[in-house]
Amino acid sequence: MADIDHEKKLAALEAVKYVKSGMKVGLGTGSTANLMIQELGRQIAEGLRITGIPSSEKTRKLAIDLGIPLISLEKADRIDLTIDGTDEFDPYMQLIKGGGGALLREKILAYNSDLVIIIADSQKQVKRLGTFKLPVETIPFATYKIEILLNKMGLQPKLRQKDGEHFITDEGNYILDLNIKTITNIPLLETTLKQIPGIVETGLFLDIADFIIVGKGKSTLTLKK
Ligand SMILES: O=C[C@H](O)[C@H](O)[C@H](O)COP(=O)(O)O
């Protein structure tokens, strides 16, 4: 297993230690979250009793394959804990997420969770957000106009493609990936973007993570809010 994969696995295993029988658990999306979901599947086979709320159709399929009982968000009065990956995190525990296009449902799960644990390999750590392009989910009807506006703002939007077609999210929307390298006031960027009609959500997860568990070499480091 490559070092990065090993770090992801260590972080995933450490996060699963917070999961107790009876909990409703938000299940993130992506390669790191998948390792956590696999571990939950293994522990469920050994008697752990939890219910999962998936953050994407990919995660739903994986969880079903692993025999993890699922409920929909509206049936969960509360989510005890959500465990999810990230594309970047900074020293203030602010995140960019959505590399896999699941940011909207992920943010909704995180918002409705008592505790949010982010799991990451050490390469996800950055001094300041913006090396990773910021994913923004847009309604198709508005996307062309939003692109023009974001271009004028210097954010160089790129409409995400997959297999030669526009990438479509689980909610039927598009993703624009933005270059935010030169932006210094990230909270202001978030507010500005959220005020544009047709932008449904951004991949900025500000003040959302309670813990970040980072795989570093052969061990893990837990950052706490
Ligand atoms: O939309 C995808 C999610 O935000 C993922 O959590 C994020 O892209 C990190 O994925 P990975 O663990 O594969 O790097």
Q: What is the ipTM of this complex?
A: 0.98
Q: How many CA atoms lie within 13 A of 111 on its CB side?
A: 11
3-124+206-216 and 134-203 agree in CATH topology: no
DSSP 131: S
**What does the alpha-carbon distance between residue 99 and residue 48 come to, in Å, rounded to a whole number?**
30
pLDDT digits (tens, 9 = 90+) for 126-150: 999 999 999 999 999 999 999 999 9
Long-range CB contact pairs, 158-163, < 8 A, 24+: 158/133, 160/101, 160/135
Best of 27, 29, 38, 171 to mutate for ligand 1, by most ligand atoms within 8 A of CB?
A: 29
CATH pick for 134-203 out of 1.10.132.10, 3.40.50.150, 3.40.50.2300, 3.30.70.260? 3.30.70.260
Q: Is 84 in the pocket of ligand 1 (CB under 6 A)?
A: yes
The dihedral region occupied by 12, where left means phi > 0, alpha psi between -120 and 50, and beta the remainder, is alpha
Whole-prediction pTM? 0.97
**What does the alpha-carbon distance between residue 178 and residue 124 come to, in Å, rounded to a whole number?**
18
Judged by DSSP in three states, 201 sits in strand
Report the CATH fold assignment for 3-124+206-216: Rossmann fold (3.40.50)
Q: Is 54 in the pocket of ligand 1 (CB under 6 A)?
A: no
Per-residue tokens: 68: 């993890």
Q: Hey, where are the domains in the chain? A: 3-124+206-216, 134-203
- 87 assigned binding-site residue: yes
**What does the alpha-carbon distance between residue 30 and residue 118 come to, in Å, rounded to a whole number?**
12
Tokens 């003040």 correspond to 207
User: Which residue numbers are catalytic?
Assistant: 106
- Across 17-48, b (16+ Cβ under 10 Å) vs e yields eebeeebbbbbbbbebbbbbbbbbbebbeeeb
Q: Mean pLDDT, 10 residues at a time, over the chain (225 residues)? A: 90 98 98 98 98 98 98 95 98 98 98 98 98 98 98 98 98 98 97 98 98 97 96
Please provide the distance, in angstroms rounded to a whole number, between the alpha carbons at the two ends of the chain.
31
pLDDT digits (tens, 9 = 90+) for 107-118: 999 999 999 999
Best of 27, 84, 97, 202 to mutate for ligand 1, by most ligand atoms within 8 A of CB?
A: 97
